[in-house]
Amino acid sequence: MPHEIAFKAPGHVHDALGALARTEDVRLSPSGRRLAIAGFASGRIAIAEVEITRTAAGPEVAVTALEYVESPAFQDPHGVDFVDEDVIVVANRGGGVAVVRLVPGGADLLATTGPVHDDPASLLYTPGSVAVREDAAGRREVLVCNNYAHTVTRHTLDASGRLVDGELVVRRWLDIPDGLALSRDGRRLAVSNHNTHNVLVYHCASLGGDVEPVGVLRGPRYPHGVRFGTDDRFLVVADAGAPFVHVFTSSDGSWDGVAYPTSTLRVMDEETFLRGHHNPEEGGPKGIDVDVRSNVLVATAECLPLAFYDLEPALAAESGPDESVLTGYELHLLKTGSNARHAAAERERAAAEREQALRAELESLRADAAEHAARLDEEIARLAAECDLRDRAQAEANAEINRVHGSRSWRVTAPLRSGTALARVAAQRLRGR
């Protein structure tokens, strides 16, 4: 690829990188001598020792070591950032936010928020990308993209590594926020918005639940990783749905208004891209970072676990945006919108058919119920008539018995009936001897 830097690494490092499978975010440590890669599929974090330098001949990169860090708290790790050289924050889409200290051969879990993905009411919900920030007073805070809650939240990180409180800082217009970055001066927050196909930029001083973005960056089909560069005058965005990283520039660093990429960097060949292009939203780069000391771009993807690129040519380019890429982007939006409308129309048609079927079923049930009720009424009437006949027959029988009992013949034959009864008793006694 143009501007790709062939990094040096021992064979076992290349082998370890090849075992990463699907990756998400990547982050350089404050010194730039370490980097962390979120291994989403493997449930691990890869920690690499790196050397990035810029010589007269161009940038040089060496990855001297790599080890995997594991923890029970890592459940679909998606986002990662460094607190310092030895402590990282890991956002787990299938769990909570974990803070771990890197130690030789592994990691010590300092704190975790626990699994919150089953509680949509929780402030943290399916946490994805994270960014660690230290304010002027030395207090550290963590910003978290909550992918399927469609929010960004801010949490205080105490000295023990616990997230002790939190607040909602961005919600309006978010639809699967997949990446975020703080400007180097801490005044801007950029959030990649997956389903709206853009990056939204906010003033940090105005953050709150319904704050409006001050800037909209268009061009990436499915923006993922996002990172500010030197002096906050350029910003790079990974496109998970295409083999590109887009470079945006702002002459004054304000990032207000609407912008398109000033240049586009292809970071993988078509064959590599298509291997991971299982659907329109996958295959391209996911995590990115920028070493501001050398303007070297770091990128990771499912089929490209780690790669480095020289950003200087893209930053110096005066050719403007790649019109074919932007045309493809706009056509993709039209297609996506059309597909969404067709899908909505299909859902509406299916819903209408279901409603019609339910109405027909309801009418059938009503008819069956009416028929059943009519049969019940007939049966009740028949039983009532039978009861009436039995009552009349019983009354007639009782009247006949009373008439017989009141007759002269019944009274005259009373002694005979008594004698007959006594004779019957005597006969029974004789038989019993």
Q: In what order do the strands lie in the sheet with 4-5?
A: 4-5, 304-310, 296-301, 287-291
Question: How many percent of the chain have pLDDT more than 70?
Answer: 94
**Best CATH choice for the domain 4-319 from the list 2.120.10.30, 2.130.10.10, 3.40.50.970, 3.20.20.80:** 2.120.10.30
Residue 223 above 70 pLDDT? yes
Q: What is the mean pLDDT of residues 219-245?
A: 95
Q: Give the residue among 297, 300, 314 at the shortest CA–CA distance from 5.
A: 297
Q: What is the 3-state secondary structure (H, E, C) of 59-82?
A: EEEEEEEEEEECCCCCCCEEEEEE
Task: Provide the pLDDT for residue 352.
Answer: 72
- In terms of residues, how long is the chain? 433
Tokens of 33: 């001598």
pLDDT-based confidence at residue 174 (cuts at 50, 70, 90):
very high
Task: Provide the pLDDT for residue 197.
Answer: 94
Q: What is the mean pLDDT of residues 240-256?
A: 93
Average pLDDT, the chain: 89
- Helix or strand run (H / E) with residue 45: strand 44-55
Three-state secondary structure call for residue 163: strand
Q: Give the residue among 102, 107, 32 at the shortest CA–CA distance from 73.
A: 107
Contact 133, 169 (CB under 8 A): no
Task: Provide the pLDDT for residue 165.
Answer: 84
25 vs 393, which has greater pLDDT? 25
| Cα–Cα distance for residue pair 151/408, rounded to 1 Å | 104
Residue 214 above 80 pLDDT? yes
Residue 349 above 90 pLDDT? no
Residue 319 above 60 pLDDT? no
Q: What is the mean pLDDT of residues 178-186?
A: 94
Task: Provide the pLDDT for residue 336.
Answer: 74
pLDDT-based confidence at residue 358 (cuts at 50, 70, 90):
confident
Tokens of 64: 């001297």
Task: Provide the pLDDT for residue 337.
Answer: 66
Q: Give per-residue pLDDT as tens, 337-348.
A: 666 666 666 777
Task: Provide the pLDDT for residue 343.
Answer: 66
Residue 274 above 60 pLDDT? yes
Residue 118 above 60 pLDDT? no
Tokens of 241: 């749905």
6 vs 1, which has greater pLDDT? 6
115 vs 187, which has greater pLDDT? 187
Q: Give per-residue pLDDT as tens, 375-392.
A: 988 989 898 888 888 888
Residue 177 above 70 pLDDT? yes
224 vs 361, which has greater pLDDT? 224
Q: What is the mean pLDDT of residues 21-50?
A: 96
Name the residue ranges covered by the structural domains of the chain.
Answer: 4-319, 322-433
| Cα–Cα distance for residue pair 182/386, rounded to 1 Å | 89
Task: Provide the pLDDT for residue 410.
Answer: 72
Q: Give per-residue pLDDT as tens, 84-113.
A: 999 999 999 999 999 999 998 888 999 888
Q: What is the mean pLDDT of residues 307-325?
A: 80
Residue with tokens 């370490």: 34
Tokens of 147: 């992918």
Task: Provide the pLDDT for residue 245.
Answer: 96
Q: What is the mean pLDDT of residues 401-414?
A: 79
Name residue 70's amino acid. Answer: E
